Chain A
Amino acid sequence: MNGSASRTITIPHLGRVEGHGGIFLKIVDDRVVEVNLDIHEGSRFYERLLVGKNYLEVQGIITRVCAICSADHTVAALMALENALGLPETERVQRLRGLLLLGAAIESHALHVFALALPDYLGFDSVIAMSEKYPTEVASALQLKQLGNRVQELVGGRPVHPINPIVGGFGRLPSHRQLSALREELTGAIDSAMRFVDLAVTLELPGWSTNPTVFMALRPDDAVYRFRGLTLCTSRGEEYPAASYREVVQEYAVEHSHAKHAALASGGTYMVGALARLWLLGDRLGGRAREAYERLFPDGVQPNVLLNNWAQLVEIVHCLERGVALCDELVSVSETDRDAIEFEVRAGRGIAAIEVPRGILFHEYEIDDHGTVVAANIVTPTAQNLANVEDDLRAAAEALLLTGLPCGDAELQGNLEMVVRAYDPCISCSVHVVRVDS
């Protein structure tokens, strides 16, 4: 190559992701000199909107930060508020919220893996086009997604923006008959999820997307694979109490994006999500999920973000199995219509951290003696991942150019889109915000 060759890659609107985002890359002599993941979705200032509202309004507002993650925001908000009010979570409520999170994860992962990501690996522009050649697979994928929604409808009241979970418990509890029926459906779906594992092992993922990074996940206290825990742990061996997240995660504004970026205070960008969870906690998986994990990751978890799709597939199997166990636990105790504890309002500050499909979600609220929200802070998984996405885009583009294979704009664009998509970014979530320093 003679002199300095400069080119730019612009993808104004990313397809098959939630929300509005684009990619801009400037390349000089096969080196990426500028990389922007542009987030141009409008801001909605939800944290600022909560200030001055009654704490009972929080869930109904904050669930609408994002539709796909609405059950996750609901559970995180209720846990943080109850924390602020000093309320305990009864065992039944804890299990039901756990079941709700599993339903949300099944729906979200199924939507992403089968409808948004898989078309890339099978060579289609959408799941609709894919259904002509793979009708059975698409039908079965939609059934899995629907089952995730059915769980959310039963526990949350509807598949998007749940209405049944409230501060202190639930409006109406599912009956034992409904839980038993759900249990059978979850059991029956495990085989069909495993058939996608059979399909996935036949697909070869490219290596140009490999880029070492730091993984972070929430570690449960018991040696089990769960979406709740009190300790943040990283692949560098660091450990922090989840409640100290403000010291661990540093958010900062960047000019090209409506969403903030984040880095670890100890240095470096990092990744949260299914791949991070498998890296840190994969050994804890049991049952068929363990089988899926061993088949899809025969050499252990590699730092290749495209593998996040297969990590989500492993988690679908885990969520189905865990859902069966939770249904069993829930029907083993006596049946009742309503479980909502009585309490007095008091001033306080509460933090909740949970693992949701895209990674760790933090919610924090401060309320006064009258139950009025004084301050709110939310850190979403996608906001935590954005800086890492840009780092991966840079690495992927340079690795592709180094291969010496023909690398036209169209190929490069398609491959870079796959990198972003593998993160399963939720752009609505990432721009919800503004922190108000009180």
Chain B
Amino acid sequence: MTTGNTKPRVGIFGLTGCAGDQLQILNCEDELLWLAGTINIVDWVMVKSENDHSCRLDIAFVEGVVATELDLEMLRTIRARTTFLVALGTCAVWGGLPAMRNEIPKGVLDREVARAGDPTVLDAVEALPATHFVPFDFLLPGCPIERHEFLATVNSLLFGTVPELPAVPVCLECKTRENVCRVIEHDEVCCGAMTRGGCGARCPSHGVACGGCRGPVEEPHYDANATMFGDRGISWVDISARMRKFSAPVWMRMGLEGVIDHER
């Protein structure tokens, strides 16, 4: 990534979202000054007031969904000036929670929301992950991202490679921690078997079912999981609400909405 002694030029950007992934970078308190000395952060509006919005970038990190025309324009501009583009967080990779709004028909939003006198609905386009619009070179899921995975990514990029991040489901990490199973013992909708690990099964380790915040593993087997929860007497509405929470666009694309409606 670097040539000679020059530090790579890096930009960090947020589209529509909660800014949680940028905050996680700031939450690397022990490494922040090392980071600032190792890479040259030239464009980071959340943290700096003097930014270069037009120079070439060796690496750029983008979090959030595309929810407005402005987001899309910004994303395309970033892609055009960047050599290595990293999607930061579940919103950018899978659509995250903001993409849930796509399930509400436009007519309903217009009727219920516009009536309440809200100006925001006027330019509301469908909320979709950044990965839907431009090619990315690396994906870093998580809601929010794990700090150690971000640092591993930066470190690897400095050496011209990408890190090997866990691709196993949360369920596997949960088993190695010897947690009590939230499905078997508590009849809860736990997304651990469908969700990509790397978090160390944080939620089940706290006695709380996995919410699926890191997005799906490569083969999530949604249908088998849904059947398993259904057999335990959990309502299809609750099952689908939880399972599609963080990755609604994938869920919709796979036609699972129809399956659930049919079963219902």
- Chain B residues lying within 8 Å of A210, measured Cβ to Cβ, are none
Given known A-B contacts A43-B121, A67-B19, A160-B20, A138 and B115 have beta carbons under 8 A apart: no
- Chain A residues lying within 8 Å of B237, measured Cβ to Cβ, are 54
Contact B18 A70 (CB under 8 A): yes
Given known A-B contacts A49-B104, A57-B242, A43 and B120 have beta carbons under 8 A apart: yes
Q: Which of B29-53 contact A (CB under 8 A)?
A: 29-30, 32-33, 36, 41, 44-51
Give the residue among A68, A253, A434 with the most B Cβ atoms within 10 A. Answer: A434
A64: CB under 8 A from chain B?
Answer: yes
Could you tell me the distance between the alpha carbons of A329 and B97 in the complex, rounded to whole angstroms?
37
CB distance from B1 to the nearest CB of A (A): 20
Could you tell me the distance between the alpha carbons of A40 and B71 in the complex, rounded to whole angstroms?
10
Question: Count the A residues whose beta carbon is within 8 Å of the partner chain — how many?
Answer: 72
Contact A68 B120 (CB under 8 A): no
Contact A48 B245 (CB under 8 A): no
Could you tell me the distance between the alpha carbons of A210 and B241 in the complex, rounded to whole angstroms?
49
Contact A131 B121 (CB under 8 A): no
Type the 1/0 row for A164-185, where 1 means its CB is closer than 8 Å to any CB of B: 1010000110000000000000
Could you tell me the distance between the alpha carbons of A160 and B97 in the complex, rounded to whole angstroms?
15
B261: CB under 8 A from chain A?
Answer: no
Contact B113 A149 (CB under 8 A): no
A67 CB contact (under 8 Å) in B20, B33, B49, B71: B20
Contact A161 B20 (CB under 8 A): yes
Given known A-B contacts A42-B127, A54-B241, A146-B29, A127 and B47 have beta carbons under 8 A apart: yes
Q: Give the contact stretch, choosing among B79-87, B149-157, B200-208, B222-230.
A: B200-208
A159: CB under 8 A from chain B?
Answer: yes
Could you tell me the distance between the alpha carbons of A126 and B48 in the complex, rounded to whole angstroms?
5
Contact A44 B33 (CB under 8 A): no
B67: CB under 8 A from chain A?
Answer: yes
Contact B26 A115 (CB under 8 A): yes
Contact A131 B36 (CB under 8 A): yes
Contact B127 A161 (CB under 8 A): no
Give the residue among B14, B113, B205 with the most A Cβ atoms within 10 A. Answer: B113
Contact B101 A164 (CB under 8 A): no
Type the 1/0 row for A1-36, where 1 means its CB is closer than 8 Å to any CB of B: 000000000000111111110000000000000000
Contact A142 B32 (CB under 8 A): yes
- Chain A residues lying within 8 Å of B49, measured Cβ to Cβ, are 15-16, 119, 125-126, 417
The chain A residue with its CB closest to the CB of B45 is A15
CB distance from B79 to the nearest CB of A (A): 18
Given known A-B contacts A142-B29, A163-B202, A428-B19, A67 and B115 have beta carbons under 8 A apart: no
The chain A residue with its CB closest to the CB of B33 is A131
Could you tell me the distance between the alpha carbons of A158 and B20 in the complex, rounded to whole angstroms?
12
B23: CB under 8 A from chain A?
Answer: yes
Type the 1/0 row for A252-287, where 1 means its CB is closer than 8 Å to any CB of B: 111101111000000000000000000000000000
- Chain A residues lying within 8 Å of B130, measured Cβ to Cβ, are none
Contact B113 A159 (CB under 8 A): no
Contact A171 B208 (CB under 8 A): yes
Given known A-B contacts A43-B120, A171-B208, A125 and B144 have beta carbons under 8 A apart: no
CB distance from B212 to the nearest CB of A (A): 10
Contact B238 A428 (CB under 8 A): no
Contact A436 B116 (CB under 8 A): yes
Could you tell me the distance between the alpha carbons of A46 and B118 in the complex, rounded to whole angstroms?
13
A41: CB under 8 A from chain B?
Answer: yes
- Chain A residues lying within 8 Å of B238, measured Cβ to Cβ, are 54
Contact A61 B97 (CB under 8 A): yes
A48 CB contact (under 8 Å) in B21, B112, B211, B242: B112
Given known A-B contacts A53-B241, A164-B208, A138 and B33 have beta carbons under 8 A apart: yes
Could you tell me the distance between the alpha carbons of A275 and B36 in the complex, rounded to whole angstroms?
32
Contact B47 A43 (CB under 8 A): no
Could you tell me the distance between the alpha carbons of A124 and B189 in the complex, rounded to whole angstroms?
50
Contact B71 A42 (CB under 8 A): yes
Given known A-B contacts A49-B101, A70-B20, A172-B206, A44 and B67 have beta carbons under 8 A apart: yes
Could you tell me the distance between the alpha carbons of A436 and B115 in the complex, rounded to whole angstroms?
9
- Chain A residues lying within 8 Å of B112, measured Cβ to Cβ, are 48, 434, 436-437
- Chain A residues lying within 8 Å of B67, measured Cβ to Cβ, are 42-44
Could you tell me the distance between the alpha carbons of A207 and B144 in the complex, rounded to whole angstroms?
40
Contact B18 A67 (CB under 8 A): yes
Given known A-B contacts A159-B27, A171-B206, A436 and B113 have beta carbons under 8 A apart: yes
Given contact pairs A43-B120, A67-B18, a sample of 11 additional A-B residue pairs in the complex whose CB atoms are under 8 Å apart: A49-B97, A53-B241, A57-B245, A142-B29, A163-B208, A164-B206, A164-B208, A172-B206, A172-B207, A428-B17, A434-B116
Q: Can you identify 23 A-B contacts, CB atoms within 8 angstroms?
A: A17-B46, A42-B16, A54-B241, A61-B245, A64-B20, A65-B18, A66-B18, A115-B26, A125-B48, A128-B48, A145-B29, A149-B29, A157-B202, A160-B23, A163-B211, A171-B207, A254-B119, A417-B49, A428-B17, A428-B19, A435-B118, A436-B112, A436-B116
Where the two chains meet, the residues of A that have a C-beta atom closer than 8 Å to any C-beta of B are 13-20, 40-46, 48-49, 53-54, 57, 60-61, 64-68, 70, 111, 115-116, 119, 125-129, 131, 138-139, 142-143, 145-146, 149, 157-161, 163-164, 166, 171-172, 252-255, 257-260, 338, 417, 428, 431, 433-437
The 7 closest A-B pairs by CB, nearest first: A42-B67, A67-B20, A42-B16, A15-B49, A43-B120, A171-B207, A126-B48
